[in-house]
Structures are given as structure tokens and as C-alpha cells.
């Protein structure tokens, strides 16, 4: 089978190659999945450089999440041949077949296409943990979403609107703002460069935001501390900007807001029952049409370099899918 392999770590994708490798053997508790679509995530790019917190030793197959069909299942796995499934692991999805722990897979409702299912997993799980589990989102609240054109940011916009929130989508490029407007993902849109608190204040009538979803960090985080309403929460999702910001604790004390760290994968591991409930809720929202996972483009696995470079340049709105 074909597999996208990291053969050595490199800053410029030069350590990656598409190779012919054997179909993986199954370990205890694993399911063999024929991959129909694999989702490209920013951590995949970081792993090629050794910059992600999970650092597998090369060589390894890239890909954290997928959708496909079960072709072999261990006894007692609750899956049978032909089941349509989504899920994944830290590696292995960008290949013709993937061996995935049964506990990391769930059936795809018949109404959901493989591509949509592959785009839902990590992004919507992160958005749900942040906004609902940690943020306590309720209808009518205002949510500011940074990095709104990324897979996770766009999922946060989509989920927050589906749950009745007023959404302000933020990006650092005007072209991205126009692209977000074109897919109607929010109620308002702002550039989050420089001092954007005034824009937020104007849009909210001075109330500011109940929740701020921040996968960017750096100066965006710094200014976001001025955009959280009293009693609100600033949700720390990541640091795409590169600088990990710091905050003096007197700021949330005086302004009366909380800062919450979002580790969606760890949350799911610690609370597996809640993880199952979240996945079910996301599936039902997709089936009903309340959420609309946005796929920017679908590319053959052979075009992996163009896909990674597009992500690196920040050209994508939503998700890129790779098809083996």
C-alpha cells in the first residue's frame, strides 16, 4: 500500500516521502481500516519537524484522523467488516490502510459522507471541549474565535453558532475575512491585528465576550485579555503565532475572568464517557445539518506536498483531505 512516511525530521518537508509499505499487522484491540479520506492537521506538519509535543521516532506514517471502512476487526472489538468508521491515532492515517485501536473509532451515521466525517474528528472535539465542557457555553452568549479560518477555529465558529451563540470570527488577513464571509460562518468578522478590543467593544455594545477561543497565542492572546467580559473565560487552545504568552495574575483577578487550558485529547482520555457523549452530540448535529464541516479541498495522497505547503502558507479555510 502507499503511505506518507516521515523518514527523517526536517524543517522543509524534505524528510517526507510517499512509499510502498506492507499493510500493517493488527496488534491486540486494533481494527484494520481501508482509508477513504485522511484529514490534514497542523500537528501533522509540526511532527515532520519534531516540534509537536508527541515526537515519534522516524520512520513513521503521518496522519492523525481518517474515515474509511473496516476490513478486519479483532474479536470483541464491536466492529464488523464493512462498517463505516471515523477516528484515528497519533500517526498512521495517511495510507491505504491503517491499524487503529478500536476504542479510537466510532461508526459513521449513514447520512454523513466519508469526507465530512474525516473533517469532524479532532477539530470538533477540540471545539466542543473548549466551548461546552470547559467554557459552559449557553445560547445567547458572545464568542470571539481567533484563527477562524483554520480547521479548529472554523469548527469552533460552526459549533458555537449551532448552539445559539453570537460569533465574532477573527483572522489576521483581510483575504481570510472575505473567505469566511463567503461561507457565512459567523455573525461578525474582525481583523485581529493590533488593538482590536475597540472593534469587539463596538460589536458587543461594550459588553465584550463571554468566551474567547484562542489557538493563536502571542499578541492575539495579549489583546484578548482586554476582550473578555466579567465572568467570562479565555480558552487557550494553542500557539500558532509561535510565542507562548504570559499573563500577570492580577489581570484576570481585576477583570474577573478565567483562563482555561484546552487539552481535548487528554480530556477525552480522562473522561471517556464524556468523550463518547461529545462525539454522539457532534454526529447528531451533523446529521441534522446544524453543523457544516467545511472542506477547503480534497487532494490525492500523491499531492501531499502541495497540501502541506498550502497549510504552511495559511491558504486553507477549514480542512484539507487526502485520499489514498
Q: Is the alpha carbon torsion for 324, 311, 183, 277 positive or negative?
A: positive
Query: Residue 63: what pLDDT?
Result: 96
Query: Residue 224: what pLDDT?
Result: 98
Is residue 240 over pLDDT 90? Answer: no
Domain shared by 135 and 237, yes or no: yes
CB atoms inside a 10 Å sphere around CB 2 = 17
* CB-based contact 321:39 (threshold 8 Å): yes
Computed over every residue of the chain, the mean pLDDT equals 95
CATH of the domain at 219: 3.90.180.10
Number of domains in the chain: 2
Three-state SS at 14:
coil
Query: Residue 75: what pLDDT?
Result: 79
Domain shared by 141 and 30, yes or no: no
How far is Cα 260 from Cα 129, in angstroms, rounded to an integer? 11
Mean of pLDDT values over 131-155: 96
Mean of pLDDT values over 41-45: 91
Query: Residue 74: what pLDDT?
Result: 78
CA distances from 155 to 32, 43, 59, 152 (A): 28, 16, 31, 5
How far is Cα 162 from Cα 299, in angstroms, rounded to an integer? 29
Decide if 278 is inside a domain. Answer: no
Domain shared by 154 and 233, yes or no: yes
How far is Cα 220 from Cα 61, in angstroms, rounded to an integer? 33
Confidence category of residue 242, pLDDT binned at 50, 70, 90: confident
Domain shared by 126 and 47, yes or no: no
Q: Which residues, other chains included, contact 19 with Cβ-Cβ below 8 Å and sequence gap of 6+?
A: 2, 3, 5
| pLDDT 10s digits, 208-223 | 999 999 999 999 999 9
Query: Residue 289: what pLDDT?
Result: 94
Among 228, 245, 265, identify where a domain stops.
265
Is residue 316 over pLDDT 80? Answer: yes
Mean of pLDDT values over 184-207: 96
Three-state SS at 320:
strand
Q: What is the dihedral of CA 156, 159, 162, 166, to 10 degrees?
A: -20
Query: Residue 278: what pLDDT?
Result: 93
Confidence category of residue 291, pLDDT binned at 50, 70, 90: very high
Three-state SS at 274:
helix
CB atoms inside a 10 Å sphere around CB 69 = 16
Cα Dmax for the chain: 60
Order of strands, sheet of 209-214, starting from the edge strand that comes earlier in the sequence: 188-191, 166-171, 142-145, 209-214, 228-236, 258-261
* CB-based contact 211:163 (threshold 8 Å): no
Could you tell me the residue range of the domain that residue 147 belongs to?
Answer: 121-265
Least trusted range by pLDDT, from 77-81, 190-194, 223-227, 238-242: 238-242
Q: Which residues, other chains included, contact 168 with Cβ-Cβ below 8 Å and sequence gap of 6+?
A: 142, 143, 144, 145, 186, 187, 188, 189, 190, 200, 203, 209
How far is Cα 303 from Cα 311, in angstroms, rounded to an integer? 13
| pLDDT 10s digits, 63-89 | 999 999 999 997 778 899 999 999 989
Is residue 195 over pLDDT 90? Answer: yes
Decide if 104 is inside a domain. Answer: yes
Decide if 179 is inside a domain. Answer: yes
Domain shared by 98 and 178, yes or no: no
Please identify which residue in the block is written with the cell numbers 504568552.
245
Mean of pLDDT values over 152-170: 97
Mean of pLDDT values over 24-34: 93
How far is Cα 281 from Cα 231, in angstroms, rounded to an integer? 26
Domain shared by 125 and 260, yes or no: yes
Query: Residue 241: what pLDDT?
Result: 84
C-alpha cell at 87: 477516528
Domain shared by 55 and 134, yes or no: no
Decide if 318 is inside a domain. Answer: yes
- Percentage of the chain beyond pLDDT 70 is 100
Decide if 202 is inside a domain. Answer: yes
pTM of the prediction? 0.92
Domain shared by 8 and 88, yes or no: yes
* CB-based contact 66:38 (threshold 8 Å): yes
C-alpha cell at 207: 459588553
Amino acid at each position: 500500500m502507499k503511505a506518507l512516511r516521515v523518514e527523517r525530521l526536517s524543517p522543509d518537508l524534505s524528510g517526507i516521502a510517499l512509499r510502498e509499505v506492507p499493510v500493517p499487522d493488527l496488534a491486540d484491540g486494533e481494527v484494520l481500516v481501508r482509508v477513504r479520506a485522511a484529514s490534514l492537521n497542523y500537528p501533522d506538519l509540526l511532527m515532520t519537524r519534531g516540534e509537536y509535543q508527541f515526537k515519534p521516532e522516524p520512520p513513521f506514517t503521518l496522519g492523525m484522523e481518517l474515515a474509511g471502512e473496516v476490513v478486519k476487526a479483532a474479536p470483541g472489538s464491536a466492529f464488523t467488516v464493512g462498517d463505516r468508521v471515523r477516528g484515528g491515532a497519533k500517526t498512521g492515517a495517511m495510507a491505504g490502510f491503517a491499524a487503529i485501536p478500536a476504542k479510537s473509532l466510532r461508526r459513521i451515521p449513514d447520512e454523513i459522507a466519508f469526507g465530512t466525517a474525516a473533517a469532524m474528528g479532532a477539530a470538533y472535539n477540540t471545539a466542543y471541549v473548549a466551548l461546552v465542557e470547559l467554557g459552559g457555553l449557553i445560547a445567547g452568549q458572545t464568542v470571539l474565535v481567533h484563527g477562524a479560518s483554520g480547521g479548529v477555529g472554523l469548527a469552533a465558529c460552526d459549533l458555537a453558532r449551532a448552539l445559539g451563540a453570537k460569533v465574532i470570527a477573527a483572522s489576521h488577513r483581510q483575504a481570510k475575512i472575505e473567505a469566511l464571509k463567503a461561507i457565512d460562518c459567523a455573525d461578525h468578522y474582525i481583523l485581529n491585528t493590533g488593538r482590536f478590543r475597540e472593534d469587539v467593544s463596538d460589536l458587543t455594545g461594550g459588553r465584550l465576550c463571554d468566551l474567547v477561543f484562542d489557538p493563536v497565542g502571542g499578541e492575539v492572546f495579549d489583546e484578548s485579555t482586554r476582550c473578555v467580559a466579567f465572568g467570562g473565560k479565555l480558552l487557550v487552545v494553542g500557539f500558532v503565532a509561535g510565542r507562548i504568552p504570559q499573563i500577570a495574575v492580577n489581570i484576570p483577578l481585576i477583570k474577573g475572568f478565567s483562563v482555561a487550558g484546552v487539552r481535548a485529547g487528554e480530556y477525552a482520555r480522562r473522561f471517556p464517557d464524556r468523550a463518547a457523549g461529545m462525539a454522539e452530540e457532534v454526529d447528531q448535529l451533523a446529521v441534522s445539518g446544524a453543523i457544516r464541516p467545511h472542506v477547503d479541498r480534497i487532494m490525492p495522497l500523491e499531492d501531499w506536498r502541495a497540501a502541506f505547503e498550502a497549510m504552511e502558507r495559511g491558504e486553507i479555510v477549514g480542512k484539507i483531505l487526502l485520499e489514498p
